[in-house]
């Protein structure tokens, strides 16, 4: 019984020490969740935009991990496209932030309520 | 060159990334958040190296840590953060936000425990000495149209950013 449990533990340790694609996926999921929590709970627009960058990076990590798994470079190419999108999004988002700050003198996202019903 | 001591470096870099990510979403000062995000991005670039993706790792460092984060820091310097640092940092729906994030995490766990059987058992062989050439061949061959659309997207983003930052919009 104990030996069986021990061997199970050893197998667990070995699976912990052998880094598979699943490890990268779990890391990406954790990073994604951190980004989601940041987007949903923070009030500072700058930090909300940074949380979106965290989310995009989690996606990139998944793409590159799958690219490694399947032995091609297509996932890496898509990661480059995602980085391009992140650059475009950051430029426009920060431009909107500057326009917003100029009008309202604040970076609090709760005060972006012009379209609120 | 095969990576050495993969488990050790994987867990080390994961810890750096997650601590950096937690710092991003908890710090009061946006400058500290930005610096923590740079740490996260650099650790992620190292993980790309472990995944035999040196070109993406270089792009990550040059474009993300070097370009986008400089843009963020510039904007943080342009807006006044004194007032927002005195305010409450988390909004009133943080409980709902945490519940939604937990549900999403449960979904991820369910998908990963059920879905791993469709993966191949071992990672397939990968070309590692000419990664940049391979990426370039695919990028300028198969994904040529998407590449052109991406350049158009960047043009739109440039124009949008300039228009948004103009004095009178």
Q: Which of B63, B142, B164 is closest, CB to CB, to A95?
A: B164
In angstroms, the CA B157 to CA A58 distance is: 23
| A residues 40..79 contacting B (CB < 8 A) | 40-44, 46-47, 49-51, 53-54, 57, 60-61, 64-65, 67-74, 76-77, 79
Q: pLDDT tens, position by position, for chain B (169 residues)?
A: 566 677 888 999 999 999 999 999 998 889 999 999 999 999 999 999 988 889 999 999 999 988 999 999 999 988 877 777 777 778 778 888 889 999 999 998 888 888 777 777 666 666 667 888 989 999 999 999 999 999 999 999 999 988 888 877 6
Q: Say whether A57 and B41 touch across the interface (CB within 8 A).
A: yes
- The CATH class of the B1-90 domain is mainly alpha
Provide, as residue numbers in chain A, all residues whose Cβ is less than 8 Å from the Cβ of B32: none
Q: What are phi and psi of A42, to 5 degrees?
A: -80, 155
Distance from CA of B159 to the nearest CA of A (A): 9
Question: Tens digits of per-residue pLDDT, A60-109?
Answer: 999 999 888 888 889 999 999 999 999 999 999 999 898 888 888 888 88
In angstroms, the CA B21 to CA A54 distance is: 7
Q: What are phi and psi of B88, to 5 degrees?
A: -60, 140
As its CATH architecture, domain A2-111 has Orthogonal Bundle (1.10)
- In A1-73, alpha helices (H): 2-17, 21-41, 45-70
The helix/strand/coil state of B113 is: helix
B151 burial class (0-12, 13-18, 19+ CB within 10 angstroms)? exposed
Provide, as residue numbers in chain B, all residues whose Cβ is less than 8 Å from the Cβ of A64: 48, 51, 53, 56
Residue B75, token pair as written in the block = 């904007």
Q: Say whether B59 and A44 touch across the interface (CB within 8 A).
A: no
Provide, as residue numbers in chain B, all residues whose Cβ is less than 8 Å from the Cβ of A49: 72
Provide CB contacts within 8 A for B153, sequence distance 6+: A84, A85, A88
């Amino acid at each position: 019984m104990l030996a069986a449990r021990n061997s199970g533990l050893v197998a667990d340790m070995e699976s912990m020490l052998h880094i598979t694609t699943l490890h990268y996926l779990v890391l990406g999921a954790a990073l994604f969740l951190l980004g989601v929590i940041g987007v949903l709970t923070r009030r500072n627009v700058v930090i909300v935009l940074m949380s979106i960058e965290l989310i995009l990076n989690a996606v990139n990590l998944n793409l590159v991990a799958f690219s490694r798994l399947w032995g091609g470079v297509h996932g890496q190419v898509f990661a480059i496209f995602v980085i391009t999108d992140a650059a475009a999004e950051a430029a426009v988002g920060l431009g909107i932030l500057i326009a917003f700050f100029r009008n309202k003198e604040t970076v609090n996202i709760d005060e972006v309520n012009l379209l609120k019903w | 060159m095969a990576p050495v001591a993969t488990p050790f470096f994987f867990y080390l870099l994961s810890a750096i990334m997650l601590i950096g990510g937690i710092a991003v979403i908890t710090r009061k000062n946006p400058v500290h958040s930005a610096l923590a995000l740079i740490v996260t991005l650099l650790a992620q670039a190292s993980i790309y190296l472990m995944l035999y993706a040196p070109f993406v790792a270089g792009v990550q460092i040059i474009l993300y840590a070097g370009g986008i984060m400089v843009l963020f820091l510039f904007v943080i310097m342009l807006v006044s953060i004194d007032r927002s640092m005195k305010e409450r940092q988390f909004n009133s729906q943080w409980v709902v936000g945490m519940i939604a994030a937990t549900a999403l995490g449960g979904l991820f766990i369910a998908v990963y425990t059920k879905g791993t059987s469709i993966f191949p058992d071992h990672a397939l062989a990968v070309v590692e000495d000419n990664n940049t050439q391979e990426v370039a061949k695919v990028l300028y061959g198969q994904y040529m149209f998407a590449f052109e659309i991406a350049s158009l997207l960047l043009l739109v983003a440039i124009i949008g950013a300039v228009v948004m930052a103009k004095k009178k919009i």
